[in-house]
Amino acid sequence: MTASKRTYETMNGLRGVAAFVVVIFHMFSFFWPATAASGYLAVDFFFVLSGFVVAGAYGDKLATGALTVRSFALKRLIRFYPLYLIGLALGVTQIGAENLLHMGNARPLNSIGLPLFCALVFMPAIGSYYISPLNGPAWSLMFEFWVNVAWAPVAKRVRRWVYPAVAAVAGLVFVWCAAIKGDAGLGMMPETIPGGIARTIFSFTVGTLIYRYRRGAHGRETVWSIVLAVALLALLFVAPTSSFRLPYDLVFALALSPLIVFLASTMEPPTVFRRPFALLGELSFPLYAIHVPVIAAGIVVTRSLHVPPAVGGVITLVGAVIVAWVVGKLDVRVRVGQFG
């Protein structure tokens, strides 16, 4: 079985685990203090995984000219945009509902015009505290999309030695920017955009290097794939003390995240776990794209009904999964029906 024909179900399962951790990280008000303290580092794992998957799916086609840079960019836009747009629509709906309910922290409706325009064209919001104020996690989708597009002409023209050089330079810039901020959660705010770009480039490039090393290799069926999923879950729940926050972040982003992707490429789950791993993978992107507005709605509803936080959190999490499943199915139908 060649690498191009492998389904990489271990990676699909890990992607789903990471997406659920991000959701729990953003549900801290429900589950505090039992929360995924390092959940934001899942983004680094996603970026490495993106490099691996995109290199495997498109690298050879770009290198040989079978796929043009323009066609590649269109394919990536089609993959990102429907779910991204649904998440954005839910975010705008959330803001509208907060205004209708006269909530004190509601963003004024007359202030969302420019952020909405910027979001629609996959660009950071100008003059906002967060670069994606209408749906927080969307910043990472912007970075991933544009780094994917920037990689396409590189994949076609540059020599292989350039990849380690790019990873090294981006890694150094990332470390420097993280040291200034005090943690590796870069990219969400305007002042951290340079560090966020370096963060994305480093992880994506390392992912492409892992694919180059592993291409054509088989994956061994083993229960260690489940152990790896549990290990990723545990690593993202770790809560280092303030003095160890930066070292932990950097070790995870620079070493552990690439290592996990590499190990995942060497193994597949036992047959009985393959479908659950595949389902986790199918849920990961839609869940990531829509969970923040759903959590905001869950907070309002459960608090107004005086539901205990932990119970409200479980209900909200189930609701997010249901919404993600529905929009995920809709996304597939739209992309397959409209674009083949």
- Per-residue three-class SS string for the chain: CCHHHCCCHHHHHHHHHHHHHHHHHHCHHHHCCCCCCCHHHHHHHHHHHHHHHHHHHHHHHHHHCCCCHHHHHHHHHHHHHHHHHHHHHHHHHHHHHHHHCCCCCCCCHHHCHHHHHHHHCCCCCCCCCCCCCCCCCHHHHHHHHHHHHHHHHHHHHCCCCHHHHHHHHHHHHHHHHHHHHCCCCCCCCHHHHHHHHHHHHHHHHHHHHHHHHHCCCCCEECCHHHHHHHHHHHHHHCCCCHHHHHHHHHHHHHHHHHHHHHHHHCEECCHHHHHHHHHHHHHHHHHHHHHHHHHHHHHHHHHHCCCCHHHHHHHHHHHHHHHHHHHHHHHHHHHHHHHC
> 165 in a domain, yes or no?
yes
- pLDDT tier at 33, thresholds 50, 70, 90: confident
- pLDDT tier at 98, thresholds 50, 70, 90: confident
Give the domain extent around 55.
Answer: 3-11+40-268
> 116 in a domain, yes or no?
yes
- pLDDT tier at 337, thresholds 50, 70, 90: low
Look at residue 53 and tell me whether its pLDDT is greater than 50: yes
When pLDDT is averaged across residues 204-229 and rounded to a whole number, the result is 92
Mind listing the pLDDT tens digit for each residue in 13-28?
999 999 999 999 999 8
- pLDDT tier at 2, thresholds 50, 70, 90: very low
- pLDDT tier at 338, thresholds 50, 70, 90: low
Looking at 63-67, 104-108, 203-207, 323-327, which range is the least confident one? 104-108
The total domain count for the chain is 1
> 334 in a domain, yes or no?
no
Look at residue 241 and tell me whether its pLDDT is greater than 50: yes
